[in-house]
Chain A
Amino acid sequence: MIDTVAAVGSAPRRRLGEASLLAAAGWAFIIFITTYMLIPVLVTAVMSFNSAAMVRFPLSGFSLRWYAGFLASPLWMDALWNSIVVALGTTVVSASAGILAAWAFSRYDLPFKNLLYLLIMMPLFLPGVVLGLGLAITFGGVQIAGVPLYGSRFLVVLGHSLWAMPLVFLLMEATFRTVDKRIVEASGDLGAGPVRTFFEIVLPMVSTGVFSSMLFALVISLNEFMMALFLTNRDTQTLPVLMWLSLRSAGTPNLAVAAVVLAVTVFASLTLIALWHIRSLRRA
């Protein structure tokens, strides 16, 4: 009798031990993953305020001299400007092309749908080094109205769109599926053409999807540097490209400042688009 009680009692006790062990492991993992994810970000942020000319720990003191140096350097400021222009271009190109294509896919029966889908999605799965090489050797000698295409921001925008457009397309295709088809048909029955229906009925319904896909495009373009390395020259190089080239020659706290500026640019544009989106929601 006592034996049975002991046997019944021991199983839950063992399970309790297992559970607390698992909980401890869970906490250990959370601490580990927090440290892992934050190390490179925090190290960079701290180093950007370093006062010495060398990257070494412990820091000798704090200063803003590297920020002042960054803002005063035409080389770095030009690179930042190039990055912003390319990112805006990529957002416009990939968002408009991707959204229209996604609407075509969800609204109409298309011939060769799978093939078209594959063609649009494929670049997303290819490395930047492959896409960059292809663009570089294809458009290496091409000129439009006397201006060489190679080395222009235009080509980088199209290169980045190869990644941004499929993402926009994917996201918007899923979003358009949530649109009630009857509303679209009702708009047609009431006399609105497909263009007016799209802009006045459909787009306002999916504004959150549009907004997030534009964010994706913007962030991808701002951070990408493999294709940009292949496609830019000294005048059009983007900030990540300049950072990569400087790291290969010599790493200084200057690079930490550039990394912080790049991250701030990303977050600033996220905030701007978010604010714009909230305002347009409120107006509607």
Chain B
Amino acid sequence: MSLAAIPSRETNAASEGRRSAALLERFTPLMLLTPALAIAVVFFGLPALTMLRMSFNLHVDQRLFVPGLTFDHYGEIVSNPLFRGAVWTTIRLALIASLVTVMLGYCFAMLTWLKPRRWRLYLMGLALAPMLVSEISIIFGWWMFFPKNGLLSYALVSTGIVHEKISLMYTEFAALVGLTYLSLPFCFFILLSVFDGIDRRLLESSADLGAGPFTAFREILLPLTRGGVLAAFSQCFIWTMGTYATPTALGPDALWTMGLLVQEQMLSKHNWPLASAFAMLLVAIIAMVMFVARSLSTRRIDYHD
């Protein structure tokens, strides 16, 4: 019975069907990829090229742009002290915020890893909060915390720590608190996944061999998490470079970041070429950071191999 079934599969119709099935098989991946690629090409690739081209266009007579080829907008970013300052401010804020975030996130993730299981859910839920709440809601929360009539001032005055109402609103400190708050979850989850990959018995054996907690940290945990720290730092840096709402809303008026300038040139000044030039510069810095972080982490792997 089964022997008879085999030759019957070799009929013309069946082989025809197999051929079309094979054809279908060949084009299936293409069809599967089409929606994603269409979105990526039309709504990301095309705008990216348009922006690149736009940054070389002219901006004359208050028109959005005039087709042309000029490097003036890049030149303006370098020569105008206001713009140059904004680039520097953006990088400085991102550096400080990422450093603080990585240190906080490291302690946070390490504690979550070390604490007994029942703590884990609580600490992870805590870290998840800023991810589920919109950036704008967080900004508004801090906006009510820092000013003279805010919660901080009220709490400090009513407990008698200070006698006059104080305001930390519109300071660089407030901006950094907001930035750190928003990038901490990314950092925490990257580092937690690295810690989870470490065998906890390493700590026990290091203690058995006589190493104190600080030695164990320096000699075991730090080297094992170096790659994670690098990834977390670059992720934080990229994220803080690109956001401008938090520093704009919480920081001083003079705290100009590149993101703010993109928005300002686009929505208020209607200078599309200059906005594009700023955006391209932002992309270039982000790409550079990613490239450096990547090459550093691969070198580390090569070294271990």
Q: Mark A222-259, 1 if CB is under 8 A from B, else 0.
A: 11111001100000000010011001100100011001
**Docked pose: A159 CA to B37 CA in angstroms:** 14
The answer to whether A85 has its CB under 8 Å from any CB of chain B is no
Main secondary structure of the interface of A (DSSP, over half): helix
Q: Mark B99-117, 1 if CB is under 8 A from A, else 0.
A: 0000010011001001100
* Contact among A11, A96, A133, A135 for B276, CB-based, below 8 A: A133
The answer to whether A143 has its CB under 8 Å from any CB of chain B is no
B225 to chain A, nearest CB (A): 17
* Contact among B33, B47, B139 for A138, CB-based, below 8 A: B47
The answer to whether A37 has its CB under 8 Å from any CB of chain B is yes
- The answer to whether A110 touches B29 (Cβ under 8 A) is yes
A186 to chain B, nearest CB (A): 16
The answer to whether A278 has its CB under 8 Å from any CB of chain B is no
The answer to whether B262 has its CB under 8 Å from any CB of chain A is yes
Which residues in window 22-65 of B have CB below 8 A to A?
24-25, 28-29, 32-33, 35-41, 43-48, 50-51, 54
* Contact among B114, B181, B279 for A130, CB-based, below 8 A: B279
* Contact among A41, A55, A116, A229 for B33, CB-based, below 8 A: A116
The answer to whether B275 has its CB under 8 Å from any CB of chain A is yes
- The answer to whether A263 touches B32 (Cβ under 8 A) is no
Q: Mark B144-167, 1 if CB is under 8 A from A, else 0.
A: 110001110110001000000000
* Contact among B38, B54, B129, B210 for A37, CB-based, below 8 A: B129
- The answer to whether A226 touches B276 (Cβ under 8 A) is no
**Docked pose: A259 CA to B139 CA in angstroms:** 10
- The answer to whether A37 touches B130 (Cβ under 8 A) is yes
The answer to whether A199 has its CB under 8 Å from any CB of chain B is no
* Contact among A38, A127, A162 for B44, CB-based, below 8 A: A162
The answer to whether A214 has its CB under 8 Å from any CB of chain B is no
The answer to whether A209 has its CB under 8 Å from any CB of chain B is no
**Cβ–Cβ < 8 Å partners of B154 in chain A:** 57-58
**Cβ–Cβ < 8 Å partners of B43 in chain A:** 135, 158-159, 161-162
- The answer to whether B47 touches A116 (Cβ under 8 A) is no
* Contact among A126, A134, A136, A259 for B140, CB-based, below 8 A: A259
- The answer to whether A22 touches B213 (Cβ under 8 A) is yes
**Cβ–Cβ < 8 Å partners of A123 in chain B:** 40, 44
Query: Would you list the 3 A-B pairs with minimal beta carbon distance, nearest first?
Result: A127-B242, A40-B141, A134-B47
The answer to whether B303 has its CB under 8 Å from any CB of chain A is no
**Cβ–Cβ < 8 Å partners of B54 in chain A:** 137
**Cβ–Cβ < 8 Å partners of A130 in chain B:** 51, 242, 262, 279, 282-283
B234 to chain A, nearest CB (A): 10
- The answer to whether A104 touches B32 (Cβ under 8 A) is yes
Q: Mark B161-190, 1 if CB is under 8 A from A, else 0.
A: 000000000000000000001001000000
The answer to whether B121 has its CB under 8 Å from any CB of chain A is no
The answer to whether B21 has its CB under 8 Å from any CB of chain A is yes
The answer to whether B132 has its CB under 8 Å from any CB of chain A is yes
**Docked pose: A29 CA to B110 CA in angstroms:** 11
Which residue on B lies nearest to A130, using beta carbons? B279
- The answer to whether B40 touches A44 (Cβ under 8 A) is no
* Contact among B40, B134, B151, B283 for A259, CB-based, below 8 A: B134
- The answer to whether A194 touches B24 (Cβ under 8 A) is yes
Which residue on A lies nearest to B142, using beta carbons? A40
The answer to whether B143 has its CB under 8 Å from any CB of chain A is yes
- The answer to whether A108 touches B29 (Cβ under 8 A) is yes
A115 to chain B, nearest CB (A): 11
- The answer to whether B36 touches A169 (Cβ under 8 A) is yes
**Cβ–Cβ < 8 Å partners of B140 in chain A:** 40, 44, 243, 247, 251, 255-256, 259
**Docked pose: A133 CA to B32 CA in angstroms:** 29
Known: A230-B267, A256-B140. A119 touches B41 (CB 8 A): yes
* Contact among B24, B149, B245 for A56, CB-based, below 8 A: B149
- The answer to whether A137 touches B36 (Cβ under 8 A) is no
